[in-house]
A and B are shown apart, each in its own frame.
Chain A
Amino acid sequence: MTSSRDAILGRLRNSLGRDIDGEDAHGEPSARLDKHPRGIIPARVNRDRGRQKELFVEMAAAVATTVDRVETADFVPGAVGDFLARHNLGADIRMAPDDRLSEIDWSKRPTLAITSGPSAGNDEVSVTAAFAAIAETGTLLLHSGPSSPTTLNFLPENHIVVLRASQIVGAYEDAWDQLRAAGKMPRAVNLITGPSRTGDIEQTIMLGAHGPRRLHIILVEDD
């Protein structure tokens, strides 16, 4: 489709009053791509780390995410088991093949039936690990990769995310810097703010439209 490409670019340059080769006036935009300058960042995130964590928990609760705070990773299996019991769910969980999860001693809750890998659509509960969390709006950042199947974030009805307090940042921009530092852009970057919801029937908000009905964070206070 080279011809349409050239025609469209030609029309654009014509509209913009640019030379046909489009070589002029691109110093500024290419510098913008390299430097990705930050714009206005809401002042609400300018606080010390401890209060950033509180902001995250508060904002997450405001969008119907539940947060369970535990002191160390040793308590994660118990917290998962309690969540299942609280909601009358079975013992099966589908877990991301992530080192940060596999290094947890799951034998502490022997009743859990754990399998690992992506979801094929029939899992009730998934457990994944977050890459970062953004205090500004109570948002989790998860991304795809060998250890984090995207399907686990969307197909199961209950999504449990293990987050360490040290992973909480203030603004989205802080998370972008971490992502850039980690290497090339993953195939999917998911910003998740609360469970799935819809207002499409008479503007009534209901949870669990197509994605998870419940989003539960187990926050390991490692800070």
Chain B
Amino acid sequence: MKATTREFKDNARAALADVGLQTALEKMETGFVVNRANAAAKLPEFEALRDQGRDIKNHTLENLDFYLEAFEAKVQEAGGHVHWAATSEEARNIILDICRSVDAKTVTKGKSMIAEEIGLNDFLEENGIAPIETDLGEYIIQLRNEPPSHIIAPAIHVSKSEVADAFHEAHTELDPGRNLDEPQALLDEARAMLRQKYIDADVGITGANYLIAETGSSVIVTNEGNGDLTQTLPKIHIAVASLEKVVPTLEDATALLRLLARSATGQEFSSYTTFSTGPRRSQDPDGPEQYHVVLLDNGRANLLGTEVRDVMRCIRCGACMNHCPVYSSVGGHAYGWVYPGPIGSVLTPTLIGVEEARHLPNASTFCGRCESVCPMRIPLPKLMRHYREKAFEEKLSPVTERAGLGLWAFFARRPSLYRWSTGLIISVLGVLGRRRGRFRSLPFTKGWTQYRDLPAPRGQSFQQQWAARSGRRTLGT
């Protein structure tokens, strides 16, 4: 996928003016956010599981070379193949070669962010192979010819009437007068259209939520069951995964699974969690004849030695974007590349470079909500700050921003002056903004609010509130 991260500011401005998108994004608060909170509340061990999840991933990363080799040996023992790809290009070519080995015409695909990262669909099409997305959200955006805007809900920005338009346009063999007003009618049509495609496909490509070193299994987690049809019915199953997806044992995968669905959709567990190990066995009545895993590096092995290593713990649950005030204002497309939201603001500069993605670490209010919900306790604001500083050091940020940071540094060294001035400004803004609760623009801070929806201050700065509470002695005893 071609990155448009450089245009983050223009993208964000357009997104703020898009009424349909704003309606869709508002639903996240009552959906994902509330559901996650309920799921976490229902499991008393949730916080302890988060600590454990972080520790499992840290241990695995610390021994990544060992676990990857152990995984490879187990896959081979089960009759499967492991392919190591240093770059996106290498991964694409490996997949193409496998497809060509059976003269594949169509390929079904389960949802895979790594396939997005390596730009697989365009590449297969250029080479005469038709990729068919089978996750409903991915299918919708494939018909609309656009990238996903959320890592677990790729079509979150699309309204049902837009889905109906896309279906009317694509499914020309059906009665043009049919009624597609209700989501159920849309679902039934997609189900019927994709059914035969699963059966006809020569190759099925999925991602992997985890790879298990103990057993040589790739694991996918879905609610629709599309991934299972994709990896069961064709002759060949290819799982494409990045290096850090490996975990040691079934128990370790289980520990992370207890966090994944709860953090993502607020479900206790997703409908389908499937562990695939090698190809069809000699007595098996169904399943693929070949099983391949493509392991993608794409810069991650080097990343492991840097300050941003923590980002490799990510299990791609999407909680950080669901809870992000910037994401909920501008949506995923504004970020301009595969991974949106706070995780994208950290991963994108890592994967495509600070120069290309320098706006993203700034797409933050540093409110800390992402870190507070991240199941893997990734310090996202700290990592964004790291890239922000890096861009500053490399003099990639514009003069106005540099002057602004210089000014902030001036105040930071003079705390009393800072307290006085922020208190003053916040009081003023509190009065101005109280009616709407959110700002879409502010006269004298254009560089900030033109692209960020600033929450209206409640009339007191944090430091004032802290002082007031301590004064009433309500903190501590």
Contacts and interface: CB of A to CB of B under 8 A. Distances in A.
Interface of A: 1, 4-5, 7-9, 11-18, 22, 25-26, 28-30, 32-33, 36-40, 42-43, 59, 62-63, 97, 117-118, 120-121, 137, 139, 144-146, 149-151, 153-155, 172-173, 176, 185-204, 206, 208-212
B111 to A, nearest CB: 10
A209 B191 CA distance: 6
A189 B136 contact: no
Contact of B153 (A7, A30, A188, A199): A199
B94 A209 contact: no
Given A14-B305, A15-B305, A203-B31, 13 more contacts: A16-B62, A33-B213, A38-B251, A59-B268, A144-B286, A185-B216, A187-B281, A187-B287, A189-B275, A191-B274, A198-B136, A201-B183, A203-B32
B191 to A, nearest CB: 6
Contact of B194 (A5, A153, A172, A210): A210
Contact of A42 (B43, B160, B196, B217): B43
B228 A150 contact: yes
19 contacts: A8-B84, A8-B86, A8-B243, A8-B297, A16-B305, A22-B65, A25-B63, A63-B268, A145-B284, A187-B284, A188-B232, A190-B273, A197-B224, A198-B136, A198-B137, A202-B27, A208-B191, A209-B223, A209-B224
B350 to A, nearest CB: 13
Contact of A29 (B153, B248, B272): B248
Given A154-B229, A201-B186, A12 B64 contact: yes
A134 to B, nearest CB: 9
Interface string B62-85: 111111111000000010000111
B235 interface: no
Nearest first, the 4 closest Cβ-Cβ pairs linking A and B are A211-B225, A15-B305, A209-B224, A11-B301
B278 A118 contact: no
A204 B183 contact: yes
Contact of B52 (A40, A191, A206, A209): A40
Given A151-B286, A201-B187, A211-B228, A4 B274 contact: no
Contacts of B269: 63, 137, 139, 191, 193
B355 to A, nearest CB: 22
A32 to B, nearest CB: 5
Contact of B271 (A36, A150, A193): A193
A63 B39 CA distance: 13
A9 B243 CA distance: 10
A97 B86 CA distance: 44
Interface in B74-103: 78, 83-86, 90, 94
B45 interface: yes
A64 B67 CA distance: 38
A43 B301 contact: no
Interface residues of B, number: 104
Contacts of B226: 209-211
A217 to B, nearest CB: 14
A196 B190 CA distance: 14
Nearest to A59: B268
A148 to B, nearest CB: 8
A223 B43 CA distance: 29
Contacts of B59: 29, 32
Contacts of B83: 1
Interface string B221-243: 00111101100110000000001
A155 to B, nearest CB: 7
Contacts of B78: 185, 187
Contact of A118 (B267, B276, B286, B306): B286
Given A1-B83, A202-B183, A30 B66 contact: yes
Contacts of B254: 39, 172-173, 176
A16 B254 CA distance: 26
Contacts of B84: 1, 4-5, 8
A210 B271 contact: no
B30 to A, nearest CB: 9
B187 A16 contact: no
Given A16-B305, A201-B187, A208-B187, A185 B274 contact: no
A188 B251 contact: no
Given A4-B84, A42-B258, A206-B183, A187 B271 contact: no
Contacts of B257: 172
A1 B94 contact: yes
Contacts of B206: none
A36 B265 CA distance: 28
B38 interface: no
Contacts of B396: none
A188 B229 CA distance: 12
A10 to B, nearest CB: 8
B127 interface: no
Contacts of B163: 201
A170 B2 CA distance: 48
A185 B49 contact: no
A204 B155 CA distance: 12
A96 to B, nearest CB: 9
A153 B229 CA distance: 10
B255 A191 contact: no
Contacts of A199: 31, 153, 223, 265
Contacts of A153: 228
